[in-house]
Structure 1
């Protein structure tokens, strides 16, 4: 049974300096909820990416840690479910709405991520999509344990399989499957009930994104509970819907390319416009065309 607890305080508004791609979230108040998925396993939902929390005798294990100014709220949420101190953090990718709390937790917790996450957090990053730069994170925020393909953690009565998904949302994505609980955290490869964001400046691609969703569908069974990177707790059917949406987005933009339309002509025609009503949020159809068209032309050429 799912149990949702509304936190006593609303998330404070703060500039989204940790990652400019989520700048639209600044200046707003967001409800903060603790969703009980299974015994000792929770999802923290609200501003920033969804955080997975596994409590138990081995110290608390969290997946992602939102923005820097959310660290104390994450600690308070963990205490509200009688969890102990955070001992392990897995980052699903490098973006600041998922790694902003690393510096706060890093002095007492082991931070684990794909090797590309450490590389990107330790160097200045430039977003061509938003024409903004993100400075390197402080060293205490860098992962100290990195992997290339996968790693397995045995903590608090759960076997957590962490698997790299290449060139999807970014080049450092990971999904985490809790075998005993049958719970899957997809990170930002899964935006539930909204348009996806493919960060091509960070090595992401629509083809890799779709492949990542397909991999999630391979892992998930009919009864698997799925934590998306953003949006409400989900089912396998929700993940399938996100996969089908991503395929539709790619195919519509590809059809414009196949017709010989330029980027400007595709933007004017906007083959995704009718989807805004149901899926626009952080991403809208025009921004997606600006991302997908170069990815399907220049991006594919550079990968061949």
Structure 2
């Protein structure tokens, strides 16, 4: 059952090529300054990061193909300099849907598994593939900013990258952080429940306490927000693990639910039931 749910969820994420201009006609791309020369663009899909420098721009994720021109226009409002680099935090279509458009303007960086998964999808054109890949990570230097790309394995997917802008002290987490609620862990494509929590804790332990955070989904936040997210995941894991060890079935665990204080973490994409089914499948 979980596999079917996961397939349906990922299908929705990947169908960026099918999102017509009409579907996105009323979507507005809203820019917010994060810190230093880093901005966040919010539209539909994963949050976008933009670094603005005198030498050009860096784009972190690019939502859906139908929004590409709107995204570009929003970037030009920040700084009308050329796009220098594009970074994909993972392969899901709400983060890579405009790759083909922006690949004509700048090289795309991503973990090697992102290229492999996009290349295996017949709906994705060859020009949308990352052209610079890495295994553990890579550092990009642009103007006076140092951009650290770090691969964290077996979390949301098998190709996750977190992006740290060192001078600005801004972390873009990709979908290793859903500030708005329960996370989506793509178990069928390299994601792992315990690995996800481990990666969230890695970010907590390896960034300054005053870091400003762009989550994959949700609003701009800080390390306290990330810590609360980690605690929620850990509490849910402990609760479900205990139930499984006691011989409880999936139906029992769904009836039990999450702790009352986490009921509000349900949202349109990952509600309480889907989150619990992910935990059951990932912890057995």
Structure-2 residue corresponding to 1:286? 273
**2:46 match: secondary structure:** coil
Q: Which has the higher contact order (CA 8 A, sep 6+)?
A: 2
Shift of 1:232: 0.5
Alignment TM-score, normalising by the size of structure 1: 0.83
RMSD: 2.2
Per the alignment, do residues 223 and 271 of structure 1 end up closer, same or farther by CA in structure 2, a change over 3 Å counting?
A: closer
Residue 226 (structure 2) pairs with residue 236 (structure 1) = no
Is 1:273–1:285's contact at 8 Å kept on the other side of the alignment? no
State how far apart, in whole Å, the 1-side matches of 2:36 and 2:170 are: 11
Which stretch shifts more, 146-155 or 267-276? 267-276
Structure-2 residue corresponding to 1:121? 118
State how far apart, in whole Å, the 2-side matches of 1:113 and 1:136 are: 19
State how far apart, in whole Å, the 2-side matches of 1:19 and 1:84 are: 35
Structure-2 residue corresponding to 1:296? 283
Is 2:180–2:267's contact at 8 Å kept on the other side of the alignment? no
Structure-2 residue corresponding to 1:4? none
Which stretch shifts more, 184-193 or 259-268? 259-268
The count of residues paired between Structure 1 and Structure 2 equals: 270
Structure-1 residue corresponding to 2:124? 137
Unaligned runs of 5+ in 1: 1-15, 125-134, 298-304
The partner residue of 2:172 within 185, 190, 211 is 185
Structure-1 residue corresponding to 2:85? 88
Structure-2 residue corresponding to 1:171? 158
The partner residue of 2:109 within 107, 112, 117 is 112
State how far apart, in whole Å, the 2-side matches of 1:104 and 1:18 are: 22
Structure-1 residue corresponding to 2:32? 35
Write 1 or 2 for the structure with the bigger share of helix.
Answer: 2
1:35-74 CA-to-partner distances (Å, cap 9, x unmatched) read 1123432111231111110122332111100111111111
**2:50 match: secondary structure:** strand
Structure-1 residue corresponding to 2:5? none
State how far apart, in whole Å, the 2-side matches of 1:145 and 1:164 are: 14
